Amino acid sequence: MTRYLLLLAPSANRVYAGESARLARAELQVSCPRTHGQDVEEVAGLDYLALESDQPVDELARCLAGQSASLALFERTDTDLLRPVQLPRVDLLDDDFVTIPKYQGKTNEQFTRLLLNVTIAALRRPVTGPLDILDPLSGRGTTLETAWTMGHHAYGVEADEKSFEAMAAYLRTWLRRKRLKHTATVSPVRREGRSLGRRFDAELRLDPPLTMTVFTGDTRQSAALFGKKRFDVVVTDAPYGVVHGSQTDVRGHSGKRDRSPAGLLREAIPVWARQLRRGGSLGMSWNTYGLSREDAAAMLSDAGLEVLDGAPWTSFGHRVDSSINRDLIIAVAPL
């Protein structure tokens, strides 16, 4: 076994930074299972993940490079000197694609990457080429932008028109300024003579090309909006019931405003589950003050999915602020 130290990137969010080492450890256990002995170690005042692996160093470096908090990798010699190991560039787009937008309620970019990494790692089907990733509560597009950055196709549904417009405007501006070959259009959606809202379609002309489609509409109508389209991964950051998410998104059975995500998720999760391909995975983060983990797991199980339980899958809960304790849960569709 070769010993390594993985230097963790600082987080722009002070509260998240206090939890990032523990979360990075759990992420690594899920995403890079051929590493062993992942322990948080402080060296000269900086947090590292100490680990061992028998993988060829280039394979290990590629896996570690995609981790949400990876900054630099060092091999630990027998004399405890640190030898730098170059991490390859695994992202297709510059990181400012995700980090430039700043707005109230935006999910921490590192956590978005972690949620995607963990959900993709749970897939029970081979990962070959770009995946089809759906965020059925896409907001202003942090998950969609991260999916594109990682080289996957991105799809979304968003009820709030202003969030949809801001997302579409930002993507077109960023792609134009980066001088990347692309198309990006907003068009009306009409079926049987009725207006169903709008859709944003973009294609980034890489090799292979990446596509993005986002509908305006109720997430509980996601299957109707996308028709027969199925997805490898469904991943979303559910409304926290505080100030996060639009009023439309947090209406429950009664049609009145529901300040917890429970009413929405009870109706939406079965829809999302039906949109998964066989062996696909669903990852969701949410505020545990509004919905217990047991109740979230029951909703996913009732929708025909298998919830992944036990460590490290249950090791991601963390405080965001006094009114939000965020956790994530992963479930997979049968093969």
What pLDDT is stored for residue 260 in this prediction?
Answer: 59
Task: Note whether residue 90 is domain-resident.
Answer: no
Task: Note whether residue 91 is domain-resident.
Answer: no
Any residues with CB less than 8 A from the CB of 332 and at least 6 apart, and which?
Answer: 122, 123, 124, 279, 280, 281, 282, 305, 306, 308
Q: Does residue 288 sit in the same domain as residue 210?
A: yes
Q: Does residue 56 sit in the same domain as residue 200?
A: no
The three-class DSSP label of residue 5 is strand
Residue pair 30/312 in contact (Cβ under 8 Å)? The answer is: yes
Which run of H or of E encompasses 139? none
Residue that is written with structure tokens 């490898």 in the block: 232
Which of the four pLDDT bands, split at 50, 70 and 90, describes residue 21? confident
Q: Does residue 118 sit in the same domain as residue 216?
A: yes
**63-83, pLDDT tens digit by residue?**
999 999 999 999 999 888 999
Q: Does residue 109 sit in the same domain as residue 188?
A: yes
User: Could you tell me the CATH number of the domain that includes residue 231?
Assistant: 3.40.50.150
Task: Note whether residue 326 is domain-resident.
Answer: yes
The three-class DSSP label of residue 9 is coil
Nearest to 147 by CA among 171, 125, 165, 130: 130
Q: With the C-alpha atoms ordered 133, 72, 317, 307, is the resulting torsion angle positive or negative?
A: positive
**226-243, pLDDT tens digit by residue?**
999 999 999 999 987 654
What are the DSSP E strand ranges found in the chain?
2-8, 35-43, 46-53, 70-76, 82-85, 132-135, 153-158, 182-191, 194-204, 210-216, 231-237, 276-287, 306-307, 318-321, 324-332
Q: Does residue 139 sit in the same domain as residue 274?
A: yes
Q: Does residue 11 sit in the same domain as residue 131?
A: no
Region 133-153 average pLDDT: 96
Rounded to two decimals, what is the model's pTM?
0.90
Q: Does residue 194 sit in the same domain as residue 327?
A: yes
Q: Does residue 11 sit in the same domain as residue 102?
A: no
What pLDDT is stored for residue 16 in this prediction?
Answer: 66
Q: Quote the CA–CA distance of 88 and 90 in Å, as a whole number.
A: 6
The pair of structure tokens assigned to 45 is 């005042």
User: Could you tell me the CATH number of the domain that includes residue 81?
Assistant: 3.30.70
**175-225, pLDDT tens digit by residue?**
999 999 999 999 998 877 777 799 999 999 998 999 999 999 999 999 999
DSSP conformation letters of 229-244:
--EEEEEEE---SSSS
Residue 92 DSSP label? S
Query: Which of 85, 113, 136 lies at the terminal end of a domain, its last residue?
Result: 85
Residue pair 5/41 in contact (Cβ under 8 Å)? The answer is: yes
pLDDT at position 14 over 70: no
Domain that holds residue 41: 2-85
Q: Does residue 250 sit in the same domain as residue 112?
A: yes
Count how many domains the chain has: 2
DSSP conformation letters of 28-86:
HHHH-TTEEEEEEEEETTEEEEEEEE-S-HHHHHHHHHTSTTEEEEEEE-TTS-EEEEP
Nearest to 186 by CA among 174, 207, 172, 204: 172
